Structure 1
Amino acid sequence: MRVVFVHGACVRDGAWWWHRTAELLQERGVASVAPGLPSCGEAGLPGGFSGPGLAEDVAAVRQVLRTGDEPTVVVAHSYGGIVTAEAAAGIGSVRHLLLISSYLPEVGQSLSDFGDGDGDGDGGPAPFLDVDIEAGTFGVRPELLVDTFLQDCDPEVQAQAADHLARQSVQVTGQPVGAAAWQQVPSTYLVCAQDRGTPAPLQREFARRAGSVVEVDAGHHPFLSRPTVIRDLLLGL
């Protein structure tokens, strides 16, 4: 078994975001990898309207998934579900999708089709996001990072997280997916009940498309705050 982690929006250094769960999996002999997303600057190209977008993110993840034929579970967090919907389509080694506070888009849907993310229904950017229209990028406001996304993590993680934020190409929010892997591959949705970024009621609505649903009493990043829960869930799959 192999695990491929696909991180969410506005962050970089995926291996850091997943490291607590990855280390626990490694102790059980399960290898994992966290591909970089070009739209977050992880391919060395700047973000913006002329920079990498969803297509490049899909290609980066798909390249990793095509490496080897070992049975694979793809774990997608937040925006990572948009990428995974297309990237995992038609890959025979992919046996299960685990969506964490994420999305299962139909073909033709984009991130923007799932609302503004904070559940207030005003249609504008969530208050924890900073959007630079002229530059064509968006990112998490550092001063709101911990209270919104990491309130249940230990101080060490909270202190380090800001160093792994990224400005991302805003174009990814409106670019539609060309496939929906979750329609062919078994899927599990993990609802994070204490998530302040994507409220639990929204997650439960998104989760209706998944094959099964599990809830954990955690914030937006349970793989950092409750890594044993994620490890056990993955081993169970």
Structure 2
Amino acid sequence: MKLLLRSLLAFGVLAAPAAPAVSAQAKPTVGLVHGAFADASSWNDVVARLEKDGYPVVAVANPLRSVKSDGDYVGRILAGIKNPVVLVGHSYGGSVISDAAARADNVESLVYVAAFAPEKGETAVELSSKFPGSTLAPTLAEPVVLDGGDKDLYIQQGKFREQFAADVSSRAAKLMAATQRPITESALNEPAPNAAWKNIPSWFIYGDADKNIPAKALGWMAERAHSKGTVVVKGASHVVMVSHPDKVVQVIEEAASAK
């Protein structure tokens, strides 16, 4: 019997047991944090592409109440993720990730998508008005007054596409306008508690036709943060992740693979 087995192995009739495959290193989790006047669905096309490429993804429902409390909320989500994280923020979400990442030990890189990257003590309102070009204020609807005197802000639906999503189809922009989530006025005027970009490598992507945050302000913040890679998308609106998801994914994956 032993002689028969040796003969079969010698002629390849029976294969020797294969060596265990070496597993590839797990890819980092991508955390996506939306900004004002949007929700987590604004990342849908980005999520689909990242998951296709093998990245675990969490699209956070950002409360949009205050930089500190929103940062705390994102921080709790980060604490539940065991592997390294690429943390991505859009618009006001940039302020939130700048705070949350400063208090997390698993965030390896930051990506700012048409987003604020504030220095400690700076506000979103201050940064958006640092250079001319923002036309957001006149497009805001009558605010909703909250208990305690704070206000919830929305963009008028009839002005939403031109202001926020000019390079998105009218049908998609109409849905976005109807489902937009408000941000409190106080959040936009709240001094940033932390500036994680000072210690964590950061990447930036934005459109040169952004009407919420002037492109010049976005470029200035990227330069100040010593961006590892900055992509300016010609003609892109404030929602560059909706109109150009491929370009946004490319930047995220670059940040994810950087050593």
Question: Which category of TM-score, normalised to the shorter sequence, fits these structures?
Answer: 0.7 to 0.9
- Structure 1 residue 30 and structure 2 residue 55: aligned? yes
Matched position secondary structure for 2:89 = strand
AA paired with 1:76? G
- The 5 Å alignment of 1:162-173 reads 162-173=177-188
- For the Cα contact (< 8 Å) 1:117–1:198, is it kept in 2? no
CA deviations over 1:144-170 (Å, ceiling 9, x no partner): 111122121234422321232122221
Matched position secondary structure for 1:104 = coil
Aligned CA distance change for structure 1 residues 196 and 174 (closer, same or farther; 3 Å): closer
Moved more, 131-140 or 81-90: 131-140
Output the TM-score relative to the length of structure 2. 0.78
CA deviations over 1:107-130 (Å, ceiling 9, x no partner): 222222214488258xx9622223
Structure 1 residue corresponding to 2:233, chosen from 216, 219, 227? 216
Aligned CA distance change for structure 1 residues 224 and 199 (closer, same or farther; 3 Å): same
In 1, distance between residues paired with 2:54 and 2:224?
31
Aligned to 1:129: 140
Moved more, 107-116 or 124-133: 124-133
The percent identity for this pair of structures is 25
Aligned to 2:249: 231
- Structure 1 residue 3 and structure 2 residue 53: aligned? no
Per the TM alignment, residue 131 of structure 1 is displaced from its structure 2 partner at its CA by 5.2
Q: Which runs of 5+ in 2 are unaligned?
A: 1-27
Structure 1 residue corresponding to 2:198, chosen from 178, 183, 203? 183
Per the TM alignment, residue 202 of structure 1 is displaced from its structure 2 partner at its CA by 2.3
Matched position secondary structure for 1:38 = coil
AA paired with 2:168? C
- For the Cα contact (< 8 Å) 2:43–2:241, is it kept in 1? yes
AA paired with 2:244? R
Moved more, 54-63 or 80-89: 54-63
Matched position secondary structure for 2:192 = coil
Matched position secondary structure for 2:102 = coil
Moved more, 130-139 or 201-210: 130-139
Aligned to 1:89: 102
In 2, distance between residues paired with 1:207 and 1:116?
16
In 2, distance between residues paired with 1:155 and 1:112?
28
Q: Which ranges of 4 or more aligned residues in structure 1 deviate by more than 4 Å?
A: none
Output the TM-score relative to the length of structure 1. 0.84
